[in-house]
């Protein structure tokens, strides 16, 4: 069964540095998403992406964050000038966009900001 893959599984970064989290969505999917889960808290929506542009973003997704689909397979989340509170598990997801087809999630990247 096709799956969403995320790299790296764990990223440790110094505060103030930039980090790029990578995702390879399922190949025939059209919608891509990033979510995050701070330890012990809810899974929160960050952003959705379709047709090479952001379709929706949450209030968490401020100017510190950006997303990109640099080629036909990768989908990246860039976090600039990282802060301690950016430490979380980041999940990528994709869907075919039928509206009822569920989103398929990757295993997540654990981001630790020191």
Partner 1 sequence: GDSVTQMEGPVTLSEEAFLTINCTYTATGYPSLFWYVQYPGEGLQLLLKATKADDKGSNKGFEATYRKETTSFHLEKGSVQVSDSAVYFCALSDALKAAGNKLTFGGGTRVLVKP
Q: Write b or e for each residue in 58-69: b if 16 or more Cβ atoms lie within 10 A of its Cβ, otherwise e.
A: eeebeeebebeb
Smallest distance from partner 1 to CB 112, Å: 16
Kindly give the pairing relationship between strand 10-13 and strand 109-113: parallel
Smallest distance from partner 1 to CB 100, Å: 5
Nearest to 87 by CA among 23, 40, 33, 32: 40
Nearer to partner 1, 14 or 28 (CB): 28
Smallest distance from partner 1 to CB 64, Å: 19
Nearer to partner 1, 15 or 54 (CB): 54
- Under the rule (CB under 8 A), what is the footprint of partner 1? 4, 6, 30-31, 33, 35, 41-45, 48, 50, 55-56, 58, 91, 93, 95, 97-100, 102-108
Helix (H/G/I), strand (E/B), else coil: 84: helix
């Amino acid at each position: 069964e096709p799956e969403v893959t995320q790299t790296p599984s764990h990223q440790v970064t110094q505060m103030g540095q930039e980090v790029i989290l990578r995702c390879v969505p399922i190949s025939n999917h059209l919608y891509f998403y990033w979510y995050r889960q701070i330890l012990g808290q809810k899974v929160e929506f960050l952003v959705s992406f379709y047709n090479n542009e952001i379709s929706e973003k949450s209030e968490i997704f401020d100017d510190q964050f950006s997303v990109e689909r640099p080629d036909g397979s990768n989908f990246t989340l860039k976090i600039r000038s990282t802060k301690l509170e950016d430490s979380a598990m980041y999940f990528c997801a994709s869907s075919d966009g039928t509206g009822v087809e569920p989103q398929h999630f990757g295993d997540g990247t654990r981001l630790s900001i020191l």
